[in-house]
Structure 1
């Protein structure tokens, strides 16, 4: 018993020595800190463990969060020239791309939503813009995969309710099919903006304009001095009752897409105004003394954030960094928010047995006893984005981007347009084909619920 107490005392007394030590903006300091944080992320990775799926994180973490995590790791590869996890990232992204390289893998056949595919699409676009080495060996380039995701979501545009928009869910049998939300449409908007900027193809930019206009028309995005970005609405009442919840990742996705549109349109004053409106709202709703928090579920020292919500700050932080480099007029404001938040996040990364487990609360000045994949991802993103001006901005084809594209990718795959029933059902998916019967519908829904749990 005495020996046990001594060991416990040693662990906790030594942990400050191991804690993340950060000098904001200093490359060596940031890259040392993020190396530790990434290792903590990979404690939750299933792909390197016996029986684990490559490209997946352990329950209770979802497939979309894996896409979110690898997007941050690609940026770390770029910012820090850290090749340690390069093969792990490539293997994960190719495995989860699925047989058609469109991020519709078979392990998500029953449960994938437009937001899930959209987040992975943005991660693949991160690979494109950072010149993460193309797969080769006869496989499509990252650009072609991003174009496949775009084409499939684009084909799911539904103007039969709410005058447009894509639904939250792809498959009719999933709960949430009757909900149109900001994150699904926001990923679609941002992916179109990024493809337009990268390829200089105006058609993508026209689609981005259309989606943004719809988001404002339906009231999910409200443009004013301090803009609002709300969650979504059900289609049953034609999206007239908007769910006025605000989350960092929704603001971030719309902010980032607007920044890409500003940059792609050579400094359009319209898009600069939109960037400022959304940024003003975000800085008011999600920061105290310039330190970021998830206001929808963090309240002082307490939190009721679920596993999804605990990772939202990671996407938000990445989008703030991109906005800072793409829209120079807001750089000073954004960098101030990132720097203060990074300092708070680093101080939270002082917990656990390893002494550098990250927490949720970035005000506390120390670890708050919260831990998980979301906490690690969020700390990684906010800290490494203090280096956003120390490296090349996102590439375009015309400025050194090298990934191979295919503008028609995804147009002939089996899950392009579920609304028009263009599903090609394989033998093991015949239960899905039988949804026309009430009995088999129960089986399908039961299978979905079993997979979710």
Structure 2
């Protein structure tokens, strides 16, 4: 049975994709410009009445964090400041009252993985020397925001169940509070590893190792032969996370191999190089179709939802970072990126603009799928062709260390704030209960009174 998007593409006929020369920065950036224009079609922040930092429904808040992380790389790789102000405003509009990416418009439903993706965006800003906050935000730094995310997430580390780990959800009333998942924990691992490298502070590296060891201990990361399999997670239940949900997603593998790459680059410990290799083997065995990246769990069946259709974006970003930070795997990973970028460019041949991107990069053209996830995934795999033409992610003191001491200044200009996020209220930190402020109690009392009055009036009317 041909699923509808594929059928529509067949009816439209074959259309030539983007003209991409994988060796040319100008060619890659020309393609990126067209794709980013398509991304902006979904952005609410520049529309009348739209929320700055948010994309239109049905795209969730976390995905905005993922998209802006990718757009920072476009700004950096292509030296294109067209959307610099939009990115800057979005990253700051969503930081929340406590400056930890727990904004009031999200805190009732925000999960640990959601917060992590905005933390990853802040890290991208710090490591790429994106325009530093100023004016009313002069006391904020990109690295400080990432550290605030780290501090609030690490405060939720739960040793009572399953011997450690973050729950998927922050708040008790949300479905998934009893579930510990790979992406939340992988996100914190990646954040900790990158802060360690940026700050040359081993405290963060120790945290990263604690998280990573736990992921292996509970078999969320499972060694199968020479390569890793990464499972989605497990419910706490009565068996302490022993019954695994074995769905496998590109973004889990990507965030984890990226974290291991940062740890290897920072520590020069060969054990982290071994871990990079095991993830590479797992990726090669799981997510390549004719050498091209695909989302195996749902792509062939045409069942990928809006979230899942974006997972290849951060996956591609982390593959690029790994190729840059771990020379031993540079060529192998760049082969994947190059083949996938060619396929992605061919997929970007749909829609009324002629360069709307699809999901299946091995199809040879547009497959009829379209959306924010397809656009950002194609963008990220293409722009990571440019890693060799640019510096590695910046750090404050330097990347690799020599004899255990910090090397020369690493070019990063974003200030370090180890205490960021630690003064936040319990709602942002432990967040097991929602603190109701005085004005909220008053408002709740007024609403309750109004509702009660209406009920009494209706009752009297019915009796009369």
TM-score calculated relative to the size of structure 1? 0.89
Cα distance change, pair 100–25 in 1 and its aligned pair in 2 (3 A) = farther
- Post-superposition offset of 1:14: 12
Q: Which residue matches 1:282?
A: 283
Cα distance change, pair 429–331 in 1 and its aligned pair in 2 (3 A) = farther
Please give the secondary structure, in 2, of the residue aligned with 1:223: strand
Q: Which residue matches 1:264?
A: 266
Matches within 5 A, 1:15-414: 16=16, 19-137=17-135, 138-224=138-224, 225-237=226-238, 238-266=240-268, 268-299=269-300, 302-398=301-397, 399-414=410-425
Q: Which residue matches 1:5?
A: none
Please give the secondary structure, in 1, of the residue aligned with 2:234: strand
Q: Distance in 2 between matches of 1:417 and 1:262?
A: 30
Q: Distance in 2 between matches of 1:431 and 1:121?
A: 34
Q: Distance in 2 between matches of 1:88 and 1:424?
A: 32
- Post-superposition offset of 1:20: 1.6
- Post-superposition offset of 1:426: 2.7
Moved over 4 A (4+): 12-16, 427-434
Unaligned runs of 5+ in 2: 1-11, 398-409, 446-464
- Post-superposition offset of 1:232: 0.4
Cα distance change, pair 353–157 in 1 and its aligned pair in 2 (3 A) = same
Q: Distance in 1 between matches of 2:148 and 2:229?
A: 31
- Post-superposition offset of 1:25: 2.7
Q: Distance in 1 between matches of 2:30 and 2:152?
A: 39
Is the CA contact 2:235–2:243 (under 8 Å) kept in the aligned structure 1?
yes
- Post-superposition offset of 1:417: 2.9
Specify the structure having the higher radius of gyration (Cα): 2
Cα distance change, pair 360–429 in 1 and its aligned pair in 2 (3 A) = farther
Cα distance change, pair 25–99 in 1 and its aligned pair in 2 (3 A) = farther
Paired residues, what number? 417
Unaligned runs of 5+ in 1: 1-11, 435-453
Task: After superposition, give the CA deviation of every residue in 1:353-411 in whole Å (9 maximum; x if it has no partner).
Answer: 00000000111111011100000000000000011111010011021101012111111
Cα distance change, pair 432–401 in 1 and its aligned pair in 2 (3 A) = farther
Q: Distance in 2 between matches of 1:431 and 1:254?
A: 46
Please give the secondary structure, in 2, of the residue aligned with 1:66: helix
Q: Distance in 2 between matches of 1:171 and 1:416?
A: 10
Please give the secondary structure, in 2, of the residue aligned with 1:203: helix
Please give the secondary structure, in 2, of the residue aligned with 1:146: helix
Task: After superposition, give the CA deviation of every residue in 1:36-80 in whole Å (9 maximum; x if it has no partner).
Answer: 001101111111112211100000000000000000000011100
- Post-superposition offset of 1:416: 3.7
